[in-house]
Structure 1
């Protein structure tokens, strides 16, 4: 039997959460096209006859640490590298960026085997263009493997999955066989609401949004959930609510459908929007809202 922790790392918006969900076979991490979608360290657990891989989805590593939120995200991502047996470094098929160099520096300091996983090859018209990229990558670090793949399309995922299991150390399962994540349903509910907000809103507001679950209660066959959406300015509150409440209503409907699938039962979901000025650049406010690793 093989067993161990596998960190999925990379710069923001490179496909870590999408890969985690495909590898585990369930939706564990929320996804969107917005950077900073993943804000917490989340474990996705896959158990097979060959062993157990505990995937650690991490926030994207940022070059800038001007705000408290960015410092928290980098600290969360960096701390995950100290506790794993293997690293899967996701990088975009388009090439290196300055933030990739920052990730590489942290990976080298971790001192564990690294798989370089080149994502989004489905968008690459000329596959031969990968060769110079792979040669450049091979010169930068002694990778255990380099695997081009597509998290969205599922291309070459079996090869990546098999290589990960081959590189894990021998050991007994870390979690029960039927467990797929270490996060609570309450946490998952907040993340699902935030995902629907990210997908419904424009460019500016998502970074200023967080979701806090005030109530999560089972009432017979019905689950009652009350979620508080925090923003930083009154103008953002108006955008989240939308004209005649249209945006908030749409977000609530989409979140409720996902929650009912996850909980396998009826859900009554209430959403409220409040302003907490500057919460994303206030370390005390971040801790009070659950941003503590």
Structure 2
């Protein structure tokens, strides 16, 4: 049954990750599928026509204009109980399915929204309190629409949202546009190479061939790793690792900073160890 509250449903909006998202059971499951920000009015009716009037599933979507959605069935689910003809024969107890994969929560600095102005030209509305609710309290993704913001200062015009916030003592300003999907990681995740440099040390990451733990002196250690690889942040979501054999490669983080893969070789993937 489709339901955004179930952790077994995940979504992928990154075309570079789609192949592995489809082929590998646990790939991309840290990104939950979500409710549709602006549901299609006839959608529920069509679902009931195809699935039956008693179908109670809810529509799902990702965070982009096109998305891939996956359901990961629990492993080792028990067989359904079989009803017997006599009341005296006991019915075999059904084994409960295993719990869905636990979500990974990347490290986050405290964030304080200073103000949010929503509109166009000289027609703007102060949505600071609404932003504080979404970003500071709920820490959830949201679609930038008049319904979400609770006000439409200039109907039928394309609007934008100007946001000022403080994170780790540093003031940031950013502009986002109507109908964009805004993720909590937009605020809490690293915004530049300097923040990634402070965010990465002492975190542990695991791949098929071993583990890596990053240190503040720009070295890394881990199981299956020879020598002391050197690492350097080159962007908010990219770093360069120089291995002990002098081979150098760049690695790109996904947009939740819960995994990274070698640029040009998405078969080499490290995932954060919570």
TM-score range, shorter chain: under 0.3
| Max Rg structure | 2
Higher percent of residues as helix: 1
User: Structure 1 length normalisation: TM-score?
Assistant: 0.23
RCO higher in structure (CA 8 A, sep ≥6)? 1
